[in-house]
Each structure stands twice: as C-alpha cells, then as structure tokens.
Structure 1
C-alpha cells in the first residue's frame, strides 16, 4: 500500500478536513424557574428520574410554594438542562433540597455544583440555618458532590434510612449547617 502524495490530497481538501466541527452548545443560564417552565420541568424530571419523577401536579404545587428557591439551567433554546429545588420550613430556619438534576449529556461539567452553590447562597442570605437532603446510598457522584459542599451524613447510622421512600428505597440523609459565618 502506498500513501497518496500530499499534493494530490490538497487538490481534494474535503479529504484533509475532519468531520464537521460539533457546534458548541449555547452557554446555560442559571435563573429562577418561571410558571411557563412547568411543562419543561416535568419533561426534565421524567427524563432524569424516570419512575421516581415528581408527578406534574406536585411540581406545580412545589413551584407555587417554593418558587424563590426553584432554580433552573436554561439552554436558551427552549430546553431546561437542570434544576435545583429547596423547600424551606414555615419558621424559615431549616430547608430541604427536594431535587437536584442535570441532564445526562451535561453531567461532569460542574453544573450540579453551580446549582447547589447558588441555592445555598440564597438560603444563607434568607437566614436559613441548616439544609438537609436525601441521596440514594449508591449514588457516589452525588454523595461526593454534597460532601465537597460541606454536607455530612446525619446520625444515627451514617445517615442511612432503610425504606425511606418505601420498601427497598433506602436513602442517606445529609445535613449542612449554614448558620452565621458557616459555609
């Protein structure tokens, strides 16, 4: 087998060019959720969480109650690529992260961290003292993210709660003390 001379290849530039460059996606915008986002939030939640996704009516109610701490990642083309939702107690001292998700194609780019950092800053500014969340015990990536943000397993038993969401649906409960000057 002989190689084709470079001069002949230059006569056919399509052979030198690699595949067409993949268009880079538009930068994502982190913003508060809007009522008009609800159908897209449902699609996103079903895509990421599948059989344990929130039903549409519950997403609606969560938005109505906790909109100030319901943040989304908007791709600018009509699709949401992630969200975080924090629910604050009536006394406004404690909060729970009820949902954090990023689409599979956008993971491992720091977007979950960006969502969490922003919602934690908003919670801290609102005077929240502690934040809790639950995570599937086998979800090592999420646990590492939460630990890197300062969350620790809530005792007893390292935060492990058997059948937390029903039979076979164990969760690990983690907590972050925000308090004054924390975080």
Structure 2
C-alpha cells in the first residue's frame, strides 16, 4: 500500500486542505484538463534531480523537455517514446500500456485501475496500477484542492514505481491549464538515423 510515508516529496507538493475526494472527482479533473503546461522537478531512485518543462494535451500527448539532461520523453497520442541522446537509444511503448496512460486517456476510467490511497489535511493521492500488466509498475498521483483548477483538483505531481521497486518522483510547478497547444511539438529526432543535409 502506498502511503504518505512512502511519498515525502509528493506530500510536500500538496497545498490547501482537501475534502474527501472520490475517484469520480479525480476522473472529472483529468477529463476537464484538455491541456497543461508546467515546469517539473524530477528526483530519480538514485537521488539525482533533473528539471525541465512538460506539456500535456489529452488524449495521449505529452512531452518532457529536460533542461540539461540529454533525455526526452514524448507521447504522440499512440506511442510513448523515451530517447537518450547521450547513447543514441530509443525505447517505445503504447501510451495506454504505461503508468502515464491514466493521465492521458480520452475518457479516464479509474474504477478498475485506481483507488484513493491517502486523504490528508494537505491533499489526496491516487494509487494507479494495472493488475493485468504488473511489469509496467504503478503511479501514485497527487492532487490538491484548488477552485481555479479543472473540477476543483490540481495535479501537483506523481511518483512512478517500476516493477523492481525503483521510484521516480515528479513535482509540477507554474502550472497553466487548457492553454492553446496547437503548435506544440509531440515528435522527436531519432538519434539512430543519420542526419541528411
């Protein structure tokens, strides 16, 4: 079971007191968030901290642009791609088969894959995992009550757990909801292919 004890960084990210949010409330918030842009701070299992900018456009599209690391994570609506430009490596999975799929679904249905893991004076954490695909790990998603946020819940970050127990925590800041991302780039340069001039 995921608790606040396991998620100290997410607990710090939660702000105003939360009422007893339900999965329906969380699903309504996700559905009402058609797009989102934010700065992020990511802490890996090794303690290394990376920063960058994230854009999200539901359904299925997301981009993590790192400030200094030669990494890129991008979802184009169908496929989530992890690119390591340092070693010219590309890994890909169907978006819906990854833990981030719950944030990006066109019609968020949390009933079979998520539960309210923790409700405290500072917020709510939802534990999401697909029992049929344990190899994809799980996601603990943090929200805080915020009247200005879609459906009254503001996404503040998440912790992803891989099948081996490794943990990566992502905290969002400077969040902007439902902005025009029509010109946003959800593609990537494939480092395995030579550049032609």
Same structural fold, with TM-score higher than 0.5 when normalized by the shorter chain: no
- Compare CA radii of gyration and give the structure with the larger one: 1
Structure number with the higher helix fraction is 1
TM range (shorter): under 0.3
